[in-house]
Structure 1
Amino acid sequence: MKRILTTTLRTLPRRHTTLLRPLTNHSRIHNFHSTPPTPQDGAASSSSSSSSTNPQMAFPCLDALETRTSNLLNNHTPVKKFSSGSGPEPSYTTGPHLTYTSTSPLHLDWGGTLPTYTIAYETWGTLNNSASNAILLHTGLSASSHAHSTPSNPSPGWWEKFIGPGKALDTDKYFIICTNVIGGCYGSTGPSSIDPSTINKATNGSGEPYATKFPILTLLDMVRAQFSLLDNLGIEKLFASVGSSMGGMQSLAAGVLYPERVGRVVSISGCARSHPYSIAMRFVQRQVLMSDPNWSRGHYYSSIPPHIGMKLAREIATVTYRSGPEWEQRFSRRRADSTKPPALCPDFLIETYLDHAGEKWCLEYDANSLLYISKAMDLFDLSEDVMRDMRGRREEYAVRRDGGGGDGEDEGGRCTLTLPEEAYQEQEEEAETTATTTAAQEETSTRKPPKDLIEGLKPLQNHKVLVIGVASDILFPAWQQKEIVDALKEGGNGNVKHVELGEDVSLFGHDTFLLDTVNVGGVVGEFLRE
């Protein structure tokens, strides 16, 4: 399928229009120029040109990046025509939504505080008289609250085919609530929001964005904010907590934090603790993004956004969202145009697909939100030892805030991290232990969950829980969902339903939760009806 992609500044959330102000120092654009340096000796240049047997290779992909940078610098609308198979991915559309603003502070796990905060949310269906039919739908990392179309925003939502009368989340029975998470950029308070402490200091009274003065978040912080919204809506107990990917992690966290306020739990393609591979992939994305000079350590809101770093970060992420077998079927080794010589820019169809994925997202999402939310995913761990440490920190920060000790200041904005003086060294003993452990795991075909994870999930021992995994998922492999199931069962839960979709059912990898209305949506709908 061929598709024309137009990247326009109209896709930016309203608060991001400040990104388009021209820079006073135009030299920053030179960081992205790919034009070879001019030789000092003109004669040498002429001689080199005449003696060369090969022409200079063209780089249209770099030209496009430079054009967008230039257009942003000059406040023009960048337009790029691009052909690629777009696939069936839903759009993360934003637009009109409801808002809830809390005037009570949100104290965060790592010590920061949001004195006030806003949550963007949307609802579908009708809340019954007893407020007992509410389902909280948690999003993935980059999704807005727009999971389904509404009268005020008829654009299809990211779970459009899963929500509605008779569907997985049946709006004839349930009242569905979906929020944009705290830290996001689609209406909820995040790094691009105005820092209240700057409003009185600003000469025009409008204040300045938090940027990287925004405090470190956890997924549990996001869940606490969501339950503040539920309090405002008069919902004491959810019929179910449902989520996929990062939302699957939040769904478990909701049950662990508020076991008495959650009925059923659905976790799709999620985990109970982040593992090294996914942490590594998100780390690389953040490093690429922060290396874009236009990121400016997060303070880019009055200049050029780091669109190049964002594009590359999204391309890396997209690699993890699908499976090799699906791409083999979809793209094989086909080139975009086999009649033309190979190029270092996007050439194979798989390359044009990744380029398209980065293009359509690099100006739609706030870079700082990506950094903060992806880090929150890395920090996620429902193991009892981790949760106990978190509770202890929260109590310590509360004492400081109440004036009972310390200087009363939050630690959330401080960073005392230092890089190791020496590079990591691989240890022979460590490699041997790893090899032995891996062999033993393969031989027994089982991964027993650690005892502290079993203890950490015990608040869910009396809940009905549905866990869905996908064999072709490389970002959240199916063994991570099995770890959730095993930990719940070891902790005494006899009401756990586990479904694993094999490669014969789905080759869509991690993105299966967005696409499979039968094997994901059907199972969820049946579980909620049981």
Structure 2
Amino acid sequence: MPVTARIFERKTVSVGSIRLEGGEVLPEVNVALESAGQAPESDGSNVVVVCHALTGDAHAVGDEASPGWWDGLIGPDRFIDTDQYHVITMNVPGGCDGSTGPSSVNPKTGKPYGSSFPFVSIRDMVRVQKRCLEVLGIERAEMVIGGSMGGMMVLEWGVMYPAFARKLVPIATAFSLTPTAIAYNDIGRQAILSDPGYKNGDYYPGPGPVKGLAVARMLAMVTYRTPQLFEKRFSRGLQVEGDVAQMNSLFQVESYLRHQGNKLVKRFDANSYLHLLKAMDTHDLARDREEMPLSRITAEVLVIGIQEDQLFPIEQQRELYKQLKGLDKNCDLLEISSEYGHDAFLVDFREMGPRIKNFLTGTRSRSTVG
């Protein structure tokens, strides 16, 4: 494939009204997206669709001035090479980065949706993204890839639209969340709901439940990383030297978690956080489907799991792989070990990156199981 001038574009696409899985209709739905790399081929052979995680957005690739959240994986001469491929990332409906969500203006009232914003499922997200790509004239893709919530979407892409993508890469994900993961999510949810600033979801234009959202993020960070990483990075070190028995003393790990909580508050909306959590909690690939959903998948699949993942345990990716192989699907499993735990799919590309590159470009290797 010849290398030509790369493109980089951020824009918002109107996809009209959408009837959601629950029966409600969202009018005038907008989708914020970022595209980077080469112009898309008419047959989609150079198109890669990226699905983001819970607090992600469309800014996966970025540019030199503003690198995206998957900058280490995607870019010029990287594992997903924008000198060769057209990479497109769409912000999900229900989010807060330009796509229609709770903070968007309801055209019927002229005010933000707030508490009136309807439930949006993982399947709704995929359906909206399919409509967006159709508006852009993209009918097929070489690969759909994503981790965590994005991985749930990748699997739904394969089930709902089997002919769309030739390859699927679901990372650190599963058919559905474990009860433990749902429990963690509900603790974060209750932190937001109990914050007086939440105001039943109708807090715009105010700051909203700042403390509640920060606490929810702090809890989530504990599930995203590993005890081994916390011990290595912080141990029992103090942020400010002094008497550890004093109430105002601060451990380094406490300072880190508070910093992460404050960072999220500055860029994310609490209502969106709640809606996307609920979408993950309620998602089940088999729900309301008579046939085994994986039987509909026709694409090649590379399942990637992280052995230290506390949120999506490695057994879930092994089960996904086992069922795909049992259906005689073209499927591989890559297990990686990383002290970053669940977050490894965002930061640790030593094993994952080369395997994704080989899978995308057609270089196959045997399954790598830990």
Q: Please give the TM-score of this superposition, normalised by the length of structure 2.
A: 0.92
| SS of residue in 1 equivalent to 2:48 | strand
Distance 1:346 1:320 in 2: 24
CA contact under 8 A between 2:42 and 2:138: conserved in structure 1?
no
Q: Deviations for 1:51-106, whole angstroms, at most 9, x for unmatched residues?
A: xxxxxxxxxxxxxxxxxxxxxxxxxxxxxxxxxxxxxxxxxxxxx82110122x21
Structure 2 counterpart of 1:28: none
Q: Deviations for 1:441-463, whole angstroms, at most 9, x for unmatched residues?
A: xxxxxxxxxxx7xx121111x32
Given the alignment, which residue of 222, 236, 253 partners 1:319?
Answer: 222
| SS of residue in 2 equivalent to 1:260 | coil
Structure 1 counterpart of 2:293: 456
Residue 346 of structure 1, CA deviation:
6.3
The answer on 1:509 being equivalent to 2:354 is no
Residue 343 of structure 1, CA deviation:
4.0
The answer on 1:144 being equivalent to 2:45 is no
Q: Structure 1 residues 345 and 360 mapped into 2: Cα distance closer, same or farther (>3 Å)? A: farther
User: Which residue identity is paired with 1:324?
Assistant: P
CA contact under 8 A between 1:131 and 1:234: conserved in structure 2?
no
Residue 345 of structure 1, CA deviation:
5.3
Q: Deviations for 1:263-287, whole angstroms, at most 9, x for unmatched residues?
A: 1100111112222111111111111
Distance 1:292 1:107 in 2: 32
CA contact under 8 A between 2:243 and 2:249: conserved in structure 1?
no
Q: Structure 1 residues 130 and 357 mapped into 2: Cα distance closer, same or farther (>3 Å)? A: same
Higher helix share: 1
| SS of residue in 2 equivalent to 1:141 | coil
Structure 1 counterpart of 2:333: 498
Higher strand share: 2
Q: How does 1:3-42 map to 2 (within 5 A)?
A: none
Structure 2 counterpart of 1:486: 322
Distance 1:343 1:259 in 2: 60
Number of equivalent positions:
353
Q: Structure 1 residues 346 and 481 mapped into 2: Cα distance closer, same or farther (>3 Å)? A: farther
Distance 1:371 1:344 in 2: 32
Structure 2 counterpart of 1:132: 45
Distance 1:264 1:172 in 2: 19
* Larger Rg computed on CA atoms: 1
The answer on 1:184 being equivalent to 2:21 is no
Distance 1:465 1:130 in 2: 20
Given the alignment, which residue of 35, 47, 50 partners 1:123?
Answer: 35
CA contact under 8 A between 1:121 and 1:179: conserved in structure 2?
yes
Give the alignment's Cα RMSD to 1 decimal: 1.6
Q: Structure 1 residues 457 and 192 mapped into 2: Cα distance closer, same or farther (>3 Å)? A: same
Q: How does 1:266-415 map to 2 (within 5 A)?
A: 266-344=169-247, 347-383=250-286, 386-388=287-289
Residue 342 of structure 1, CA deviation:
2.9
Q: Structure 1 residues 344 and 314 mapped into 2: Cα distance closer, same or farther (>3 Å)? A: farther
CA contact under 8 A between 2:15 and 2:135: conserved in structure 1?
no
Distance 1:335 1:150 in 2: 37
Q: Deviations for 1:334-381, whole angstroms, at most 9, x for unmatched residues?
A: 122342343445621111111111111123210000000110001111
The answer on 1:477 being equivalent to 2:307 is no
The unaligned stretches of length 5 or more in structure 1 are: 1-95, 199-206, 390-451
Residue 166 of structure 1, CA deviation:
2.7
Fraction of identical pairs, as percent: 39
The unaligned stretches of length 5 or more in structure 2 are: 1-8, 363-370
The answer on 1:519 being equivalent to 2:355 is no
Distance 2:255 2:105 in 1: 37
Distance 2:93 2:299 in 1: 26
